[in-house]
Structure 1
């Protein structure tokens, strides 16, 4: 006879159970033993043995030092606690020291359970709280169990009568009741609880041995009146004291007196200098419902903003406090001189017509390395990244200072056609509401979820001609890429990521404003191929195909990883794996590869080292991602690239990468693709100025424009809204409207363009209203200038300011000078040549004439352009009314401010004063600035008066 194993489940509470295994030794006894069996459950605690191994469903246990020897016919007991598995509590295949034995599980004993109970306590007398004790199955013989009550928040004696005893169940009987006497009262109190506890079972076991009894309160407290304090506004006066009468009211009369403490507290107004501090106790007599706190306000003649302080209520007796803070606003009544408004003159080079543009209505698809519209014409995505929906704000950034529609209008005005809109998985879950929004400027976003705000962005983009690429930027709400460099984590599994994409694809189906899905931002820790949970290429196919199954109109954008076969690159930028393992989607002609690329200032990568690094950049681009476009595998969309343009290496990088995107694939200055083809698509990082690495298209005030960045991008922009194709590419005349000083309140002024020698064919007319918030001093009005190839004279139009509110007009007209770049216009009439005069030989800078002296300073420069300023000084002794200077230099001026260009000379430009800075007193000064193309050598720039 072999040693046998007897398995018994001793207690089972569904989510867990305990069991015993008893070994009965045969006639030979045991000297050390080893027990094996199969079970789907997971043992969490064991006694009487130790687990040697657990592989799949197979357990191997062995004896401990103290129970390894078992006498012939003797027994040894093993116990454990476990969590049920696929087979519940079942175990089988018992073997002791390699010899099969054991028995099927013995049926568990019947189990006692007791159910919770509740009762309304009543206001007097006794009620019964009835607990039901049950057996889960009938017992073959009598069984019993002890019971006893125990206090919770309810107390024996005052709330109920304690009970204890033993319940006897006859064979076949399965339920009994325990009755607990509940004592009624009229106390206003919360619901109270007690417990009924089971113990000492005989012939059965305890499954659920504790029940909660709830005594529900049915006594209602009398309603107390509520105190409220009001706000008040009072003019401060110029001298002496005025008074703020702050009203305090009771919601209803009280039959007994009510008292409440009050005290003033400083805000922007200070006790002593602006008002007299007050504190004390207000007493409302019976049936009295209103009181007044009288606070003295000190008058003055200082010009200042409105100020405020508060009066706060506390420690009420006989009432509650519904509104504890009253705000007292001290209105300034001392007038300040109004600031003045000016608009500058600007100069812009006209430019040439676009070689193409426009998109037919509908969705995009791919053809070779081109993104094409519904009619099959090549188009280009040329946009910006606007982040924030992925952050803990759950809304695009900047809405704390501007309206979202105003910012999107500005994107269009600057020539961008697409927004890459990052979001997080958490944005799509319930919970926190968006924050960091000025609802006064975004009233239609009030009360919306983050997803509903996304709906608003998409809807308005459709109205103004912008396209949207949705970008799954990270799993949890926050900043930057996902912390683990993957598209999923423990809280956000891949299945949820795919389900979210399907939901969004269905949500925006039928709306070609949303052109596609950037599946995940910078999966830098993914692998490209090879299988497994981190195989990004496989995951991208799963997600892309799931999207295509519900919405086959979308483009699917697939980013790169961080490292492939030992070659590291920018996060999301390494697409080398496409050569070996291309993405294959079920829906054809929808795949676009999307790398990211950044300059030296973001991180000093090895390829930025060496004096000749710039010439090698096209090869770097080609190796990592450009080969996809060059070999006609698929289109390439550079989803992120950007810079603050303060590092000279960044400027060289930007020159090379924009040239590469435009089709100059070898960096030699010539376009290497067919005229009918478009270069690679892109979105700049970022629109936001609060990107620490790159800054933004906008300046830190969220309103101004970094014109140097826009001008660098202008050659690779594309107009999706020109459905006819071939409209002129727009340059911008950027007028700056400025206040002489910041105002304490809002300032508004209307503006409109007015034609002169330039007409409707030369610029796009615009009009509107500028509003300066308190503290703001400048605004920009962008006017699109239409390029052509006609040789013509310099043309002009104006921006005219009118109807100022909160300011005066010092200079209400800004003149835009459009410089022709198509050669010399033929003269209208023949002119008689004059005898040339002897030219004046300029002297070394500074030049002097009639007391005028000029100083030329380069403020900043980069490979393709520079910013400079010129200061004109009048040494007298006479005042000057109007000045003019010739700047001799080979560079082309693209924009000028605080002066205007009169014309071009063989050596440079003839420039004169603006309307408001031509008068110079003795030792007076005026200055102007400009942007110009090309490199600059200050020693070769002369000023001639």
Structure 2
């Protein structure tokens, strides 16, 4: 008799142990004994009784409560015994059964079937409850029901035999396929005379679905729910062709997301098409309410067609909710106007030793954001599919940044391209503009809100990342065209202090330092000949004298071969620096990491600033700040940029510190993510907190009027509403006119709109303007105007 025995020790303390025994058997048992060889003595047992322990042989018998074991059953028992330790496990197991329970004969069952008449056969499956050790035979015969032998099916009589171990057989009954539209019919197959087994379910029904007659289809439907009473949800049921006899079909509603009795009245019945009719309606009553909820659904099912064929027997009815939340606009808090200036970048910028200085000679730190997209085939900064461009720039200023590094391609400047990926409903003033004209708009608005622009030649042809060859030219975009492009841009923005400089080329990692330095001098001097106000930003290469660093980050060669411009007070070195998550450089895994980082920063680019050779603006640095090594890098590099060159908490170099441009504003940077979250609205304040020590003082930043727009109740679907500023006694000389769209996600009830004021020194009294809501979707407007009052702080002397 097959039996499986498993032995284990759940604990062993050297002079004793706990043993566990599990036995599986394929036969039913009525009492049992178990014997085995053992080098130990059992002193306590559960799940069995000790019969004898002598000469190393142990005999156990069943306990009173586990003597009877079904086939396929399990016996478990345990004991404590001694000694433990190295005593071998039991062996030579033997199970003796005083009384074997005979195997239970299998039960024979038959299952019903449903099929189309045209399938030509009804397949009945006959099965055994379990395998037998000997053959099992059973007889079968068909019995007429509404389907008749000879007319609808061929009578069948016979028997099937299951071989030992076999548990399933099929009996096929032939159907008569005719062209008569006759409705659903049925007949039975009956089992008799089981040998070697017993009969269980002995009769099975075959349901034959008629597929003769016109095809019946039902269409989906919808209705507006209404606030009260009942609305009629009308489903249209059609026949593909008219019939000369009446066609009948049953119908019944069922809950989808709508609930019978709460949202609609359940309905069922029989739909009749009289001869010649091809279309009928089934009306379900919908219960109106004032609950703000999602659209709901009720299902309608067809069945039991008579003289017709169900081609599409199910439809969905949509109950469209017409209860919408209302939009309210609160007045902005009264704001004091303020005076011009205050972001630390006054007038034209130049350099003096290690410092970037403004027109007053005061040291200034540039804290910029990289807003990419213009360099790609979008030919426009990214994010404009979800946000208004002015709104994003104003948000940058609110967070304390004072500049934007704006990447672009030579193709965008010299060939144009068609800006795309823009929702022109949110950005109507960008429609029809070329890439350069979009830059013009960005420059104009930046000047209005106190931001500066660094133009960055990111690549030659439109695309992602730097040029594939790692040089400042590629393909048709030659060195000559590169210099000419910069001359044209310098001329275009000459006299405009908002554009502060040219980042000549992004990440020239394929060049050696000497060749790149020569090219940078040619382009830089050409720019300054057209626009002597600009700063000239020169990036590093990828490797120098065999030492590799970040693309654009290696400025070690500038020690022996510095950049020499015709206007030396316009040179700024602009390396890139990144953390472990962008690429696992070996120094991130050195034994002295992260204390090794400040010395690496200093050797690769920081020495130029520390020694007073020229200012440094780290043109790209960024991280998601989720990797612990990235977080350590962030602490070290912000300390270095702040003048603490060995990150010991003490500022070693006085002054404004090293300038930078964080990569990136955009959340769609695969390496680093952005200051913005993936929704292009929410701010990652962990990054802002990490940058806080090196953000400029924004105490005198532009003031803003903040309007709160709210919903009286949360929507169950997104709610959108347009907004725009409208003049009152204050006009666009007093505030930055703006327009955009608010999007309330399901569950959200409050949004804010911040409008930047234009400070002045004119005595003009208290003024006001308003924010107007327009074109709501998913809500209605209850109060569509908010008022902002500007208190004047200028007096006539």
Aligned to 1:584: 564
List structure 1 segments (4+ residues) > 6 angstroms apart after TM superposition. 296-300, 339-343, 728-731, 733-739, 748-751, 765-770, 801-809
Aligned to 2:447: 462
Cα shift at 1:614: 1.2
Contact 2:294 2:716 in 1 (8 A): no
Contact 2:487 2:527 in 1 (8 A): yes
Aligned to 1:384: 369
1:239 paired to 2:219: no
The partner residue of 2:531 within 548, 551, 559 is: 551
Contact 1:592 1:636 in 2 (8 A): yes
Aligned to 2:582: 602
Contact 1:339 1:741 in 2 (8 A): no
SS in 1 for 2:392: helix
Deviations 1:593-649 (CA, angstroms, capped at 9, x unpaired):
000000011111011014531111100100000000111000000110000111011
Aligned to 1:405: 390
Alignment size in residue pairs: 451
Aligned to 2:731: none
- 1:389–1:595: structure 2 CA closer, same or farther, 3 Å change rule? same
SS in 2 for 1:639: strand
Matches for 1:497-576 after TM superposition, within 5 Å: 497-529=482-514, 535-576=515-556
1:659 paired to 2:639: yes
* C-alpha distance in 2 between matches for 1:639 and 1:477: 20
The partner residue of 1:424 within 409, 416, 426 is: 409
Cα shift at 1:749: 10
* C-alpha distance in 2 between matches for 1:300 and 1:495: 76
Contact 1:637 1:681 in 2 (8 A): yes
Aligned to 1:620: 600
SS in 2 for 1:516: strand
SS in 2 for 1:515: strand
Aligned to 2:695: 717
The partner residue of 1:635 within 615, 623, 636 is: 615
- 1:651–1:334: structure 2 CA closer, same or farther, 3 Å change rule? same
- 1:463–1:340: structure 2 CA closer, same or farther, 3 Å change rule? closer
- 1:490–1:749: structure 2 CA closer, same or farther, 3 Å change rule? closer
Cα shift at 1:334: 3.0
SS in 1 for 2:538: strand
Structure showing greater relative contact order (alpha-carbon pairs closer than 8 Å, 6 or more residues apart): 2
SS in 2 for 1:640: strand
Aligned to 2:651: 671
Deviations 1:555-607 (CA, angstroms, capped at 9, x unpaired):
00000000000010000000001101000001230000000000011111011
Contact 2:539 2:552 in 1 (8 A): yes
Contact 2:403 2:452 in 1 (8 A): yes
* C-alpha distance in 2 between matches for 1:360 and 1:734: 29
Deviations 1:335-370 (CA, angstroms, capped at 9, x unpaired):
246499999xxxxxxxxxxxx974364210000000
1:472 paired to 2:468: no
SS in 2 for 1:419: strand
Deviations 1:148-189 (CA, angstroms, capped at 9, x unpaired):
xxxxxxxxxxxxxxxxxxxxxxxxxxxxxxxxxxxxxxxxxx
* C-alpha distance in 2 between matches for 1:424 and 1:653: 30
Aligned to 1:77: none
Contact 1:515 1:554 in 2 (8 A): yes
* C-alpha distance in 2 between matches for 1:428 and 1:750: 31
Cα shift at 1:780: 6.7
Contact 1:373 1:379 in 2 (8 A): yes
The partner residue of 2:438 within 453, 456, 459 is: 453
SS in 1 for 2:356: strand
* C-alpha distance in 2 between matches for 1:463 and 1:412: 11
TM-score normalised by the chain length of structure 1: 0.43
Cα shift at 1:546: 0.6
Aligned to 1:746: 720
- 1:749–1:398: structure 2 CA closer, same or farther, 3 Å change rule? closer
* C-alpha distance in 1 between matches for 2:690 and 2:708: 19
The partner residue of 2:344 within 359, 362, 369 is: 359
Aligned to 1:773: 743
Contact 1:690 1:700 in 2 (8 A): yes
Deviations 1:874-897 (CA, angstroms, capped at 9, x unpaired):
xxxxxxxxxxxxxxxxxxxxxxxx
Deviations 1:633-692 (CA, angstroms, capped at 9, x unpaired):
000001100001110111111011011101111110111123xx1100011000000000
- 1:402–1:298: structure 2 CA closer, same or farther, 3 Å change rule? farther
- 1:484–1:589: structure 2 CA closer, same or farther, 3 Å change rule? same
Contact 2:232 2:283 in 1 (8 A): yes
Deviations 1:61-87 (CA, angstroms, capped at 9, x unpaired):
xxxxxxxxxxxxxxxxxxxxxxxxxxx
The partner residue of 1:374 within 344, 348, 359 is: 359
Contact 1:236 1:299 in 2 (8 A): no
Cα shift at 1:745: 3.3
1:701 paired to 2:679: yes
SS in 1 for 2:645: coil
Cα shift at 1:235: 7.7
* C-alpha distance in 2 between matches for 1:728 and 1:463: 12
Cα shift at 1:717: 1.0
- 1:390–1:776: structure 2 CA closer, same or farther, 3 Å change rule? farther
* C-alpha distance in 2 between matches for 1:580 and 1:452: 41
Cα shift at 1:433: 1.0
SS in 2 for 1:615: coil
Deviations 1:816-858 (CA, angstroms, capped at 9, x unpaired):
xxxxxxxxxxxxxxxxxxxxxxxxxxxxxxxxxxxxxxxxxxx
1:682 paired to 2:655: no
Matches for 1:865-904 after TM superposition, within 5 Å: none
TM-score normalised by the chain length of structure 2: 0.51
- 1:597–1:730: structure 2 CA closer, same or farther, 3 Å change rule? farther
Runs of 5+ unmatched residues, structure 2: 1-221, 226-230, 237-280, 298-316, 331-340, 726-734, 756-770, 782-797
Contact 2:295 2:321 in 1 (8 A): no
- 1:478–1:300: structure 2 CA closer, same or farther, 3 Å change rule? farther
Contact 1:742 1:774 in 2 (8 A): no
SS in 2 for 1:379: coil
Runs of 5+ unmatched residues, structure 1: 1-233, 244-295, 308-329, 344-355, 530-534, 752-764, 785-800, 810-945
SS in 1 for 2:652: coil
Contact 2:408 2:457 in 1 (8 A): yes
Aligned to 1:335: 322
* C-alpha distance in 1 between matches for 2:467 and 2:687: 28
Cα shift at 1:454: 1.0
* C-alpha distance in 1 between matches for 2:708 and 2:606: 38
* C-alpha distance in 1 between matches for 2:368 and 2:500: 13
